[in-house]
Structure 1
Amino acid sequence: MAWRFQASKFKNTTPHLPKKEDTIFDLPIGNLSCTNNGVQASGSYLAFHVEGEGGKLGALPINAKGRKLRKDMAIVCAHADQIDDFCFMTFNDDLLVTCSRDDNVKLWRLSGEEATPSLECEIHVGNGVLMDSIKSHSTASNIIAAASVGDAYVIDVERKVVATKLHGFVDKGQSVDWSEDGKLLAVSADKGREVCVYDARSGTSPIQRLAVHQGLGRESRVLFCGDRLLSSGFTSKRAQEVHVLDVGRWDTPIHTQEYVSATGVLMPFYDPDTKLVFLIGKGTNKLFIAEFQSKVPHLSPVYEMSLAEQNLGACLGSKRNVKVMDGEVDTLYQLTKHCILPIPCIVPRRSYRDFHADLFPDTRGPKAGCTSAEWLAGSNSLPEKVSLAPNGTNGLPYVSSKTPSPISPPVPTVKEAVKTVVEPRHSPDMQRARAQTHPSHTLTSGTLPDSVCHSTFKPKIALDGDKPEVKELVYTVDDNSEKENGLRKENDSHHKLTEVGVYPKLERSTSVDQSTVSPVPEPPIRIRQLNDKSDRSISARVRPKSCVVGVVASKFRHVETLIGARANNTIFTNIRNVNTQLPLETNGACTSGKFVAVPLKGPAGVVGIYDVEKPGKLPDGVMDGIFNKAQVTDLHWNPFDDEQLAVGTDVGLINFWRLTRDDGPRNEMHPEKVLNAGGEKILCFQWHPMASDLLAVALSDNSIEIWESKTLTRRRRIVSHSAAVMALGWSSDGHRLVSIGKDLMLNVHQPQLGDECLLAQRKVLDRAHSGRVLYACDDRLIIVVGMTRSSSRQVQLFDASSLEEIYTQQIDSGTQPLVPHYDYDSSVLFLSAKGNRTINMYEVSCDSPYLLPLTPYTAPLIGQAIAFHNKKRCDVMAVEFQRAWRLTERTLEQVIFRVPRVKKDVFQSDLFPDALVTWRPVMTAEEWLAGSSKTPLFESLMPEGVSALAKPVAFVAPSRAPPKPAVSSLEHAHEPKVEPNRKEVQNSWSSKILEDRTLEQDEMEGVSEEEWTESL
């Protein structure tokens, strides 16, 4: 049963959106009405549809980049009518095959760096034959298959004749594909409802007729995936659907999966080396990556991505062009209205300095296994495989089967690739610094390479003498935003350290010679630092440290996520009318120790309340809830009162509700009290983490106000942003309040100082779409989660004392913002988003690599929100370090995050330090407003009567023996050399061990002598 625990090497494959300079943009593509994939790639060229001229194609070299107008590309004037399908020959990178409904099948040769087209030959299939789809053979040269209405044709290109005519399907053949061994041909027909499988050399009738999809589609796709057959079509409700069938067992599909409702088909692509399947929705912006496996589910999800632009077409690049020294296993080309994006799919590894042979098995080479004549005669010879290793024995240059190779753009050969790896373009000092630095576990925005193994890592060290300690109130002002932007662009890698500030200096885990590092420039920010004489620091408490075995890894890296039925079967079903149009500033749902609050649809601001101890199916009918009589903008439970819920509205009111388990129908309830903020819209608010009845409120007039909920009075008013505030965050000790606004600025406040309490300010965002901010690592770091201009979602780390940017990592791309949740005790950061299925997790560290990736969780259903409990709800004896509730449009499921451990009968003290008390106030609102400097409380989570995990014994250096009196060497010379007698030593130990010569049978009782009788 070892296969159950064997993880796939490609389960973390991640697509990375390229930078604009790495794409081909300003292309004249426009809106397409074709039924093919729109773009095709060979090892040397790209071919794609162009706007307004259905019979013409654009052609460019495979390594083309930048702006390409019509005058900068080659135009293939292929047909008078619209091109129905086109493809490159499998074993000839410069031969392009096209077909149209009113003309012959044509072969075009592309040559030179400008991809100049020339007609190679025409093949007449028959009078009145309307071609719809074509496909080159997978093992033989000069063989193509073409499908028409009711018939399919196997064409011998070398002899320019139709070798075989196949029949037996209804309507036009929308898609054709050859099996990997070249023996079978599959045709998708009857508007996607039927797939016919042929053995083209043994007969003209199909050997199998497969009824697949129920819906009628303008397009459908069929694809051989090793010994599986994949069909893409629609359900009867117009939802995208994928069927997987096992070759040899055609009766029923072994896997069926339904995706979103759309008009465009899912275009499938398969990599036989990695067994990865790429499904990209035509007319949508969705990309799904899945992996074939031998166990259920046979098609396992790997990654789901929302692309920045609508897909008009896509294709998979040649395996011979991937950058193996960057961990790139595949390249997917996306066709949009104006550009072509090469999307590299990368497997994260700790280092890319060595070739990872387990990721790159030998792949199909450029030489065919047999000729067309040999294949038609019955040959099944397979193409020779080549190695992708830069130092392999098999070369990777293009080899033409019949004709001279085109003058294509230079592709680095094996020796050149090795030279690129051995001689990176860095100074010797930088090479020494890079050699001592641990690479990040995942690719970041600064490590996306442009060539083979080319990294832009630039370490930046803050020296002790660079910046004096601040002792009094100091202002450092730099309003030159252009200078700030220039500095940010120069530091692409974002691997920087902090400077000396209020908190202790963050030390890097690597050592770099100070003489080789240039001084750090002053940060272009506005900052005011205070002389803090009180040692208010919580960094002295014991925290679970990461394991270091050659590389840095997290103790939580193998986190196990249980949800719904697996999480104690705690799930609410039959939930209806979930509000999916909430503002971006709210998290969507919240939970206390007793209830979960879920906003529902409707103008009355209804919020459903669900008891966490009573999961199950909700009754039919009108959904019960509390009515706020205005649109809900944000909501939070009082962290110190499980029965008080605060709900912000767009009319400037915050309703405080008192909710108990004995309440009747809640639609007739009224708020316990109402806070009137003066008519300004409530954008978001946050309860104070230590003081009771105190909360910070962000209003639509760009201000932040501190309110006391007990007396409903305003205590502070802060105006530091020039645009609306998007997010607020308290430090764990409650002395600092951080905010980010649509002015792209990050502001740090100390509200205890009064209304003029701005301490520091810096521009941190690229786009005013949305964002979140919070403190981490015992308030030494500030985490900003935002979006770039290209819709990439990223995480930025800043030093809390100086606002120096430390690290930036891109997570993925999407339209909805990432919602973070930080667990102060484990230092784990949870990232989720509305409309996504994946929960990404990282352990945050003050030292490199800063974000240690944990095992992400991908749910079967798209989520709307996730709400986390405090630490008291965790079952620490089951090694649970966090609990939450995940909301979908129909269910509310409990989620449990735990670490797999064997010894669950002891308390795992290495994972559970004393927990930060967030469920009990430390002070009152009046004490905090008076300037109280109380520190946070910590409490052990170890249950009574349970033993803790044994801690490793610390090594104690032996004390030095007292010096002996000096003895001359002459005295030692006359002393006899005494050696211990081994027998005496053995006897001395034996004398200390009790000797027992009693045998076990001596203790047994036998029968008496009288019972013995003589046998006669």
Structure 2
Amino acid sequence: MWKFKVSKFKNTTPHLPKKEFWISDLTIANLMQSCGNHIKASCTLMAFNGPSAGGGSVSVLPLDSAGRQAKTMPLVQAHADFVSDMDFSPFNDNLLATGSFDCTVKLWDIPDGGLTESIHDPVLCLPAEGRRIENVLWHPSADNILTVSSGTHVKIWDVSQPRELYVLDDHEDQVLSMSWKGDGSLLVTSAKDRKIRIFDPRAGSKTEEVEGHANVRDSRVVWLGDSMNIASTGFSSNRDRQVILRDIRKMSEHLHVSDIDNATGTLMPLFDPDTNMLFLAGKGDRNLKFVEVQDKAPYLTEGTADTVEQIKGAAMIPKRAVDVMIGEVSRILILSQSAVVPVPYIVPRKSYTEFHADLFPDTNGGQAAMTAEEWCAGENKLVEKISLDPSKRKDKVAKKETVPPPKPEPVVKPVEPVVTEVKQPPAEPVPEPKPDEPKVVKSEMKIELKRSSVSTPEASKPADQPEKPPAKPSAPAQPRKASVKPFKGVRLSKFRYLKGTPAHKSQHIENIRNSSTTVPGESDAFHANKEVCAVPLRGAGGLIAICELNKPGRLPDAGLPVLQHGNTVMDFMFDPFNNRKLAVATIDAKICIWTIPDEGLTETLTEPTQCLYGHREKIYFIRYHPLAENVLVSGSYDMTIRLWNLETNQEMMCIDVPEHMFCLAWSGDGKKFATVSSDKTVRIYEPRVTTQPIQEGPGPAGHRGARVCWACQDKYLAVSGFNTQNTRIVSLYDTSDLAAGPLNIVDYETTPSILVMNYDEGSSTIFLTGRGDSVVHALEVSEDEPHLFQLSDYRPEGRHQALAFLPKSEINVREVEFAKALRFTGATVEPVSFTVPRVKPQFFQDDLFPDTRVTWEPCLTAEEWFRGEDRVPRTISLRPPDMEP
């Protein structure tokens, strides 16, 4: 639990700039799973993964860039494969090192002001390694010393020669991260074997080795300046993200352990030794956090968290580049899907006309403390400190007109939980003359510190914005009142802290033997209603076991009665209006309709109630209509969608489709259905009007499969699939304009199984999980931007094959249960309850339980629906008569 401690930085607040001051319209590479942060910055430049077929290019822009960027911007054509990491030299702002999956490390001399044309020739290419490069890191105090990690070893190079100085090969698994002590004497690493090691490279020895984080997921480690402390981020045994603080003199003991949350993205730690602020940016997160490191208990003090764009990468600019005259103590660059967002951290003060020395201690200058030869000879030196006070800087430049800093703003206390709208940005600047910042002359180049785009739009405005004429010297502009947007507040999700709870073991169905794991990916592989569940089994003949939910316990070891089809089962689904009616599609292009006896299966059944014939090739999905009884739709490898009337056992419609379809979903009103196909296209059909799609839009770029579902009264389509790097993603589309592309995309982990979606209408929540997963993700869909809001994950014990959700009639509102599911693990079926914490559960929570549609009763017959009729299902209240409203 975080504790409060008074500090001059306790009120430091992040100021998210207006979108016109973002660096936007960027084409970012498809970021592969790697150990890099994907973006780095010097005092004058920033570099991040650029667009290319294999991810081998790097985009470089001036640090003070803002606004929309050209689509054909020049690039560093760096490598033949994905650029896994990059780093600017702390003593030469133009010298960039890059490492790649092509096993090479290259050095690039970036021209002053950024690139005017693409460059292909590095100034140096180190010999190729045997495995891909994971990290590149410059030495903090010695010039021309570069550290490279590849596989299980770390190499230290003198790039001025070039020559290999030291090899650290004491790791038992892949090196994940590394960090130098401030004086460059020691190096700390974290590895995939869950060990944290400290090396004295010049002595050729490993000085310490301890267990890091309990979970095998990626970890990071950072040395806290020149202190004797290190901080590591990783995952606990409970899969919670955590930060551990250690004193290297007592590595076996923890100074402090803080569990952050249960998100899955790797936490990237960024440490500012001048303020002792440790920033935590999680890959895939939308919250940027910081903690202040103390030298005594409680050691870590939580600071303000701010909602930003979804984080792909993060970097901290050097302290010499911050705008000290607006109280900016640090600035984080967030790499998002198509933009770089500068997030300055500002300490509120009554006045910014004077330099606040208490906020800005002397910081590292731009001159190396020693040469590579001196460091190899055993010397340890700290970089000479310089003052950030503009009046004390030795290298002043001619003054020119600029704009003053923004007026101080009131501090807005952060609100928990999820913040979805940005806090009040800095006030717009006043066009009044003021001296510019000084220049810092470095050993090999000049650096001009310019005002941040957050506070000085004129200094870095978008390229398409015309310049404003300067104020006349004879009549300087009068200060005008800053226009400040009102604080809009935050969006609080009622379901943010949902909790999943498995039922007692006495309610489990156990000992399910020989369950099939080869059901095609287009099938959900498990279906259930409030009475029974269907489980596919291995073995010849296409077997499906039917388990009665009112008979929990252990199934017999042998002799379990089943439905036998004679051919491989492709997909199956229960009739939403008849709990005893099951449709099964088989590989021989046949659809079998079974009627399950009320007492359950007492013997193996081989003859279905009815069969449907019409497809010419195997069927890959079947779906019942959500409102009309006895209407079924099926899709096949014969490139057709067919609609059936089960009352008459007839095919009513046949729609030709251009490509193999991954999934089909009916709209809530039953008028339309949506498909996702292998041609990477999402389509909407209205079959009773036309056999051609009424809308088309771009779907997921991957080829492994996809799922689709409707949300928010059919206003949106959610599509789960894969991107080109095989990362699982969920995209949200506006159903009125599919061609415009997704409104938002949320990334998840890289695993081969498709995220199957189950949408809960009452809470607008999508539950997502895949075969073999050990976590159930949750997203709330809203009409508020950015439309998709991540909720708490449910992490049960062990892995599962599928989840099947029961209708709203089965939830227990007295326990504040808003969704109920059955979890199929392959050997068991376990009920799971999803609840929301409430202080007074004895009252009916009408904000959680709106009137619900009765989806378990049909609205019309098949004949009426095919005739063109539509009806709206009735709604009912979920409040029990004896429960207080």
Fold conserved between structures, TM > 0.5? yes
Equivalent of 1:866 in 803, 825, 835:
803
2:498 equivalent in structure 1: 560
2:129 equivalent in structure 1: none
Pairs within 5 Å for 1:119-268: 136-138=138-140, 140=141, 142=143, 144=145, 177-178=178-179, 182=183, 185-186=186-187, 197=198, 207-210=207-210, 223-224=221-222, 226=224, 227-228=229-230, 246-247=246-247, 249-251=250-252
Instruction: Give the distance between the partners of 2:860 and 2:881, measured in 1 at CA.
Output: 27
Secondary structure at 1:764 match in 2: strand
2:696 equivalent in structure 1: 763
Instruction: Give the distance between the partners of 1:761 and 1:562, measured in 2 at CA.
Output: 39
Instruction: Give the distance between the partners of 1:559 and 1:585, measured in 2 at CA.
Output: 31
Read off the aligned partner of 2:27 and give its amino acid letter.
Answer: D
Pairs within 5 Å for 1:545-694: 550=488, 553=491, 556-564=494-502, 582-600=519-537, 604-612=541-549, 626-659=563-596, 663=600, 668-680=604-616, 681-694=618-631
Equivalent of 2:633 in 680, 691, 696:
696
Which is helix-richer, 1 or 2? Answer: 1
CA contact (8 A) 1:390 1:415 kept: no
Instruction: Give the distance between the partners of 1:141 and 1:764, measured in 2 at CA.
Output: 54
Instruction: Give the distance between the partners of 1:287 and 1:821, measured in 2 at CA.
Output: 22
Give the CA deviation at 1:329. Answer: 4.8
> Structure 1 residues 795, 598: CA separation in 2 closer, same or farther (over 3 Å shift)?
farther
How many residues are treated as equivalent by the alignment? 708
Instruction: Give the distance between the partners of 2:851 and 2:872, measured in 1 at CA.
Output: 14
Is 2:791 the counterpart of 1:855? Answer: yes
CA contact (8 A) 1:87 1:135 kept: yes
1:785 equivalent in structure 2: 719
Read off the aligned partner of 1:270 and give its amino acid letter.
Answer: P
Pairs within 5 Å for 1:823-862: 823-832=760-769, 837=775, 839-845=777-783, 849=785, 851=787, 853=789, 855-857=791-793, 859=795
**Percentage identity across paired residues of the two chains:** 21
> Structure 1 residues 715, 383: CA separation in 2 closer, same or farther (over 3 Å shift)?
farther
Give the CA deviation at 1:796. Answer: 1.0
2:27 equivalent in structure 1: 22
Instruction: Give the distance between the partners of 1:758 and 1:713, measured in 2 at CA.
Output: 21
CA contact (8 A) 2:697 2:741 kept: no
2:747 equivalent in structure 1: 812
- Deviations for 1:560-594, whole angstroms, at most 9, x for unmatched residues? 131437x8897677777665554453333222113
Equivalent of 1:940 in 873, 877, 880:
877
> Structure 1 residues 148, 563: CA separation in 2 closer, same or farther (over 3 Å shift)?
closer
1:405 equivalent in structure 2: 445
Gaps of 5+ in 2: 5-12, 15-22, 63-68, 80-84, 100-104, 127-133, 236-240, 260-264, 272-276, 292-297, 349-358, 391-403, 409-434, 467-485
Secondary structure at 2:494 match in 1: coil
2:470 equivalent in structure 1: none
Read off the aligned partner of 2:208 and give its amino acid letter.
Answer: Q
Give the CA deviation at 1:876. Answer: 0.9
Read off the aligned partner of 2:744 and give its amino acid letter.
Answer: Q
Secondary structure at 2:579 match in 1: coil
Instruction: Give the distance between the partners of 2:760 and 2:155, measured in 1 at CA.
Output: 62
2:471 equivalent in structure 1: none
Question: RMSD over aligned Cα, in angstroms?
Answer: 6.9
Is 2:831 the counterpart of 1:884? Answer: no
Instruction: Give the distance between the partners of 2:462 and 2:810, measured in 1 at CA.
Output: 52
2:269 equivalent in structure 1: 270
Instruction: Give the distance between the partners of 1:827 and 1:698, measured in 2 at CA.
Output: 28
- Deviations for 1:681-734, whole angstroms, at most 9, x for unmatched residues? 32322223334333233344444433344x561151243644455544445454
Give the CA deviation at 1:637. Answer: 1.4
Secondary structure at 2:839 match in 1: coil
Equivalent of 2:642 in 679, 694, 705:
705
Secondary structure at 1:857 match in 2: coil
Give the CA deviation at 1:629. Answer: 3.4
2:356 equivalent in structure 1: none
Instruction: Give the distance between the partners of 1:399 and 1:617, measured in 2 at CA.
Output: 77
Read off the aligned partner of 2:851 and give its amino acid letter.
Answer: D
- Deviations for 1:947-993, whole angstroms, at most 9, x for unmatched residues? 21xxxxxxxxxxxxxxxxxxxxxxxxxxxxxxxxxxxxxxxxxxxxx
Read off the aligned partner of 2:876 and give its amino acid letter.
Answer: E
CA contact (8 A) 1:774 1:784 kept: yes
Instruction: Give the distance between the partners of 2:232 and 2:820, measured in 1 at CA.
Output: 38
- Deviations for 1:444-477, whole angstroms, at most 9, x for unmatched residues? xxxxxxxxxxxxxxxxxxxxxxxxxxxxxxxxxx
Instruction: Give the distance between the partners of 1:747 and 1:171, measured in 2 at CA.
Output: 52
Is 2:30 the counterpart of 1:93? Answer: no
Give the CA deviation at 1:885. Answer: 3.3
CA contact (8 A) 2:571 2:585 kept: yes
> Structure 1 residues 872, 91: CA separation in 2 closer, same or farther (over 3 Å shift)?
farther
Instruction: Give the distance between the partners of 1:828 and 1:561, measured in 2 at CA.
Output: 13
Read off the aligned partner of 1:592 and give its amino acid letter.
Answer: N
CA contact (8 A) 1:41 1:315 kept: no
Instruction: Give the distance between the partners of 1:631 and 1:364, measured in 2 at CA.
Output: 73
Secondary structure at 1:877 match in 2: helix
Read off the aligned partner of 2:499 and give its amino acid letter.
Answer: T
CA contact (8 A) 1:370 1:382 kept: no
> Structure 1 residues 673, 881: CA separation in 2 closer, same or farther (over 3 Å shift)?
same
Read off the aligned partner of 1:224 and give its amino acid letter.
Answer: V
Give the TM-score taking structure 2 as reference length.
Answer: 0.59
Instruction: Give the distance between the partners of 1:924 and 1:176, measured in 2 at CA.
Output: 62
CA contact (8 A) 1:391 1:414 kept: no
1:371 equivalent in structure 2: 369
Give the CA deviation at 1:797. Answer: 1.9
CA contact (8 A) 2:38 2:314 kept: no
Secondary structure at 1:903 match in 2: coil
Secondary structure at 2:735 match in 1: strand
1:918 equivalent in structure 2: 855
Instruction: Give the distance between the partners of 1:807 and 1:170, measured in 2 at CA.
Output: 43
CA contact (8 A) 2:153 2:167 kept: yes
Equivalent of 1:419 in 437, 457, 465:
457
Read off the aligned partner of 2:762 and give its amino acid letter.
Answer: D
> Structure 1 residues 885, 398: CA separation in 2 closer, same or farther (over 3 Å shift)?
farther
> Structure 1 residues 107, 777: CA separation in 2 closer, same or farther (over 3 Å shift)?
closer
Gaps of 5+ in 1: 11-17, 26-30, 52-56, 77-84, 100-104, 123-131, 234-240, 258-265, 280-285, 308-313, 333-340, 429-547, 949-1016
Read off the aligned partner of 1:636 and give its amino acid letter.
Answer: M
Secondary structure at 1:642 match in 2: strand
Give the CA deviation at 1:643. Answer: 3.1
Secondary structure at 1:588 match in 2: coil
Secondary structure at 1:690 match in 2: coil
Read off the aligned partner of 2:251 and give its amino acid letter.
Answer: W
Instruction: Give the distance between the partners of 2:761 and 2:266, measured in 1 at CA.
Output: 44
> Structure 1 residues 204, 804: CA separation in 2 closer, same or farther (over 3 Å shift)?
closer
Give the CA deviation at 1:875. Answer: 0.9
Give the CA deviation at 1:192. Answer: 6.8
CA contact (8 A) 2:716 2:732 kept: no
Instruction: Give the distance between the partners of 2:853 and 2:464, measured in 1 at CA.
Output: 45
Give the CA deviation at 1:870. Answer: 0.5
Secondary structure at 1:22 match in 2: coil
Secondary structure at 2:848 match in 1: coil
> Structure 1 residues 700, 938: CA separation in 2 closer, same or farther (over 3 Å shift)?
same
Secondary structure at 1:697 match in 2: strand
> Structure 1 residues 946, 618: CA separation in 2 closer, same or farther (over 3 Å shift)?
same
Secondary structure at 2:814 match in 1: helix
2:758 equivalent in structure 1: 821
Read off the aligned partner of 1:682 and give its amino acid letter.
Answer: I
- Deviations for 1:464-521, whole angstroms, at most 9, x for unmatched residues? xxxxxxxxxxxxxxxxxxxxxxxxxxxxxxxxxxxxxxxxxxxxxxxxxxxxxxxxxx
Give the CA deviation at 1:826. Answer: 3.7
Secondary structure at 1:881 match in 2: strand
